[in-house]
Structure 1
Amino acid sequence: MGESAGAQGISEEIRDRILSDPELILEDAEMMRALIAANDRAMGENIVDLRGVAMKRLEGRLDRLEDTHRSVIAAAYENLAGTNMVHRAILSMLDPLSFEDFLAGLAGPVAETLRVDSIRLVLESVQNPDDPAIRRLGEVLCVAEPGFIDDYLTAGRNVPVRTVVLRQAIPDSARVHGAMAEHIRSEAMMRLDFGKGRLPGMLVLGSEDPHQFRPTHGTDLLAFFAGVFERVMRRWLS
């Protein structure tokens, strides 16, 4: 009679299913928690179940491991998406057949693909930046005096000049971003080497999102993009 009373609360079908495949319960985290809690109540408050304590610790470790696993997968997908985005931008950059179209493409398809609100190419030159020939090339091109690029990259501080710099705190950037300067909240700057005997250049990506470019972000993709950009620019400068 005790057996029939014990089985009264569960159907024969479910009971037979559990007995034939007990892993169903072992693999169900919520069901296992409920069984452990019921076992604790049955033992009373004066008994410590070391196996239950160990299981809770293992469960916590498993939860942390699953969170780490999800974070790694999310980071991998994000990195893949960023790689694809940079590759598409490079392909767009290789299409133009004239320097004017190349600059127009930077402000158009390339900026759209990289999802930035401002893109500027800064070239150091002893030539007058107000020269009409320079102005005809569009707003994406900014001509500055020698030394300007390193000062802008370091924000005037006495620190080593890096090839790629990401930052959120923007100094006086109207010289670079023009009318967009008051809206730019983060930027990525890539120092460009055009070869021996040439003054350096700088490609600047600006965003209204203060979190798009942060100093803690990786710079490998941007360094690769800058390397391709340098080679394309050398073709136009030759």
Structure 2
Amino acid sequence: MMDGTRIDGAMSAHEAQATVRQFLLENPAVLLDDPELLRLLGLQTLPENVVAFGPAALARVHAAHRKESAVRRQLESTARANFAAQAQTHGAVIDLLEARNHADLARRVDDLAQLRFGLRCGVIALEGPEQTPAGWRPLVEGQVDMILGGHQKLTRMGFWAPALGLFGEQGAKIKSMALVRLAMWEPAREGLAAFGSEDPKGFTEDMGAELVAFLARVIERTAERWPVL
């Protein structure tokens, strides 16, 4: 070979492939009439000389089936998890409604976080210079907006360092959290329901907050049964 050009008359691999392909296109019977060659190539013939890529086609079907099965299992797992969470939430609502006072309500929020949802803790926090109920975390005015990231923001999911103080001595163990704004009594006092998890993926930013928001509304209505003394 010299300057990329053959001088010995030999055929390049590319030329050989092109020649074989052209020959088979012009003489398909050579392939169709040779069962042994078809078998070695992983092909088979069907009636009327239709060539079926048996193993390859089966592999594609099997792969598609595996993918479909994986998606179905994921959907089923998500549905089961959602159903279990809803069932636990309904039970939690009953627990909250049975609270006898503000301190008992705070204890029940912490208990349901641990016992029903497998979290590290749950707390209720309240803004204002006025007295804070026993068992609740005190916040200065405007702190709810600061923690949530704005006056219009109702929830925050995931890890948020400025909120770690809500969890007191448990704060060092919190790796993710769900925070929901509360508004109670007239005139309204701002507060937070906060749930902390040791799992970094326990609460994530893309996670829906519907269930924790629902619990927050129950906490609001229950707390309003009693005045803050």
- How does the TM-score come out when normalised to structure 2? 0.71
- Using the alignment, how far apart are the partners of 1:51 and 1:161 within structure 2? 60
- Using the alignment, how far apart are the partners of 1:224 and 1:172 within structure 2? 20
Indicate the residue corresponding to 1:3 in structure 2: none
- Report if aligned partners of 1:107, 1:118 keep a CA contact under 8 Å in 2: yes
Alignment of 1:160-199 (within 5 A): 161-171=152-162, 173-174=164-165, 176-194=166-184, 197-199=187-189
Q: Percent identity?
A: 21
- Using the alignment, how far apart are the partners of 2:82 and 2:127 within structure 1? 33
Q: Deviations over 1:49-106 (max 9, x none)?
A: 4243333222211111111111111101010111111111111111122223222322
Question: Aligned to 1:203, what secondary structure does the other structure show?
Answer: strand
RMSD over aligned CA atoms reads: 2.7
Question: Aligned to 1:217, what secondary structure does the other structure show?
Answer: coil
- How does the TM-score come out when normalised to structure 1? 0.69
Indicate the residue corresponding to 1:44 in structure 2: 40
Question: Aligned to 2:208, what secondary structure does the other structure show?
Answer: coil
User: Which structure's CA Rg is the greater one?
Assistant: 2
Question: Aligned to 2:202, what secondary structure does the other structure show?
Answer: coil
Indicate the residue corresponding to 1:143 in structure 2: 138
Matched, 1:152 2:109: no
In the alignment, which of 57, 61, 77 is matched to residue 60 of structure 2? 57
Matched, 1:100 2:90: no
- Using the alignment, how far apart are the partners of 2:163 and 2:107 within structure 1? 25
Is there any run of 5+ residues in structure 2 with no aligned partner, and where? 1-34, 45-51
**Higher percent of residues as strand:** 2
Indicate the residue corresponding to 2:118 in structure 1: 115
What residue identity is the alignment partner of 2:174? I
- Using the alignment, how far apart are the partners of 1:40 and 1:112 within structure 2? 67
Is there any run of 5+ residues in structure 1 with no aligned partner, and where? 1-38
- Report if aligned partners of 1:164, 1:222 keep a CA contact under 8 Å in 2: no
Indicate the residue corresponding to 1:91 in structure 2: 94
Q: 1:69 to 1:145 in 2, by over 3 A?
A: same
- Using the alignment, how far apart are the partners of 2:186 and 2:96 within structure 1? 24
Indicate the residue corresponding to 1:200 in structure 2: 190
Q: 1:151 to 1:169 in 2, by over 3 A?
A: closer
The 10-residue stretch of structure 1 (205-214 or 120-129) with the greater mean CA deviation from structure 2: 120-129
Q: Deviations over 1:8-27 (max 9, x none)?
A: xxxxxxxxxxxxxxxxxxxx
How many equivalent pairs are there?
Answer: 187
